[in-house]
Amino acid sequence: MTLLWLLACTAPKDKVANDPAKPAPVVSSDKYGATSDRDGFLSIPVTVDDGVGVFQVVVKPTGRGLVSTEYLYGPGETLVLDWEDWYDSSFSLTESFYAADIATTLNWPVRAEDGPLEPGEYTVVISTLDARGNYVGKSDVIVEVLTRAEPAPAAGTLRTVIAYANNVRDEPGVVEAVEGAVDYWVELYAAVGITLEPEYADIDVDEQLPDTYVGLDEVAAFHEAQDERTTLVVVGERIAEDRWLYGEAGGIPGPYTAGEASAVFVGWLANAGADAEFDDADVLLFGETLAHEVGHYLGLFHPVEDGWEYWDALDDTSDCSAMGRCESDLGANLMFPYPVCTGGSAATCLRQDELSGGQAGVVNRYVGVE
Ligand SMILES: [Zn+2]
């Protein structure tokens, strides 16, 4: 297996919130330690009761190894998902087939045709690997299984915390720009039936952020300290020293559990444009960045990658194969790989505010849309 992420992992601590005054959570969860067999496989049972609409399985290595999702079996041991069907495919369904050092995350079902879940016992098979992608037996992992009822259509809520890295709040105009961008993000998600509930906070990390998938201990700790599960967006100045990287998601999908990479990182400087100051058009583009990156976190791939040879697995987004055609078919799509602009400023960019019905379905099936 390839796409080996850098090694940076510590065992997460368990967190139990037991406040009798609170209503029962919409998402049920189970967390435990487990060990892969001598061949490096672990079968994880997922019990789907009546009314359960989606599940998410997150597995983290406790040591310096990698984990990957390989198979999903449905009730009656029917094979539902085989990593070999997707690993070398030109179409992307989930990143969980690519070995990762922090976590492998399977959120199921992804598309309408992958569901609905049938009551009964599902089994997710994951593998434990070394840094070169060789199977390693008897490896310890932490397993988290989350389930959520099928919500009424367009009734889901997504909690998100927008957390400022050190010194970012002191940058002139940045807080105002973030809040304006979030207002627009709320509208973009409302259009696909998701009520976004944003909160603002601070996180004690350097404003020069690493790549999201490298992870930060502070991100895991931030989640542990929350009363409720939430998605997390960290606003820094730059990501991985890249002046032009707008944002990056910690997985497609990302885990709805505490972890070092359980976040979307955005760099305010890239979003402010070449002059490093936010004008109204920059704020709109920033809002689309937030909605796009969290869209990845909720399970969306780009409808086409910008080499025009890889596509998402949805059948209602164009499988265009040349730049001009892709920009005309998909340039207004929120998940297009880059902003489509005629000049050097955000004011010349096409609004990217569209999601297809298939894309809307994917984000609504994310377990954290409660
Ligand atoms: Zn993207």
CA of 254 to the centre of ligand 1 (A): 13
First to last CA, the chain: 34
Stretches where the chain sits below pLDDT 70 are: 1-25, 151-154
Please, what's the b/e burial string for 39-54 (b: 16 or more CB within 10 A of its CB; e: otherwise)? ebebebebebeeebbb
Cα gap 211→347, rounded to integer Å: 28
Which pLDDT value is given to residue 298? 98
Question: Bridge partners of 28?
Answer: 147
- For residue 305, the CA-to-ligand 1 centroid distance in Å is 9
Q: Residue 153 is encoded by which pair of tokens?
A: 């259509």
| Residue given tokens 């040879």 in the structure block | 309
Q: Of 290, 329, 289, which is closest to residue 312 (Cα–Cα)?
A: 329
CA–centroid distance, 72 to ligand 1, in Å, is 26
Q: How far is the CA of 302 from the centre of ligand 1 (A)?
A: 6
Report the C-alpha dihedral over residues 141, 79, 94, 232, rounded to 10 degrees: -50
Q: For residue 42, report the distance from its CA to the centre of ligand 1, in Å.
A: 31
Q: Please give the distance, rounded to the nearest whole angstrom, from the Cα atom of residue 75 to the centre of ligand 1.
A: 34
DSSP run (H or E) holding 174: helix 174-190
Per-residue pLDDT tens over the stretch 246-271? 999 999 999 999 999 999 999 999 99
The CA 7 to ligand 1 mean position distance, Å, reads: 23
Ligand 1 centre to CA of 291 (Å) is 10
What is the whole-number distance in angstroms between the Cα of residue 337 and the centre of ligand 1? 5
Q: How far is the CA of 304 from the centre of ligand 1 (A)?
A: 10
318 Cα–ligand 1 center, Å? 16
CATH number assigned to the domain covering 27-149: 2.60.120.380
CA of 41 to the centre of ligand 1 (A): 31
Q: How far is the CA of 253 from the centre of ligand 1 (A)?
A: 12
> How far apart are alpha carbons 286 and 250 in whole angstroms?
18
Q: Which helix (H) or strand (E) holds 353?
A: none
Q: Ligand 1 centroid vs 293 CA: distance in angstroms?
A: 6
For residue 222, how far is its CA from the centre of ligand 1 (angstroms)?
Answer: 24
What would the pLDDT profile of 93-121 be if each residue is shown by its tens digit?
999 999 999 999 999 999 999 999 999 99
Spacing, Cα 292 to ligand 1 middle (Å): 6
CB of 232 closer than 8 Å to CB of 263? yes
Ligand 1 centroid to Cα of residue 26, in Å, is 29
| CATH architecture, domain defined by 156-364 | 3-Layer(aba) Sandwich (3.40)
Q: How far is the CA of 250 from the centre of ligand 1 (A)?
A: 11
Q: Ligand 1 mean position to 158 CA, how many Å? A: 19
Domain ranges of the chain: 27-149, 156-364
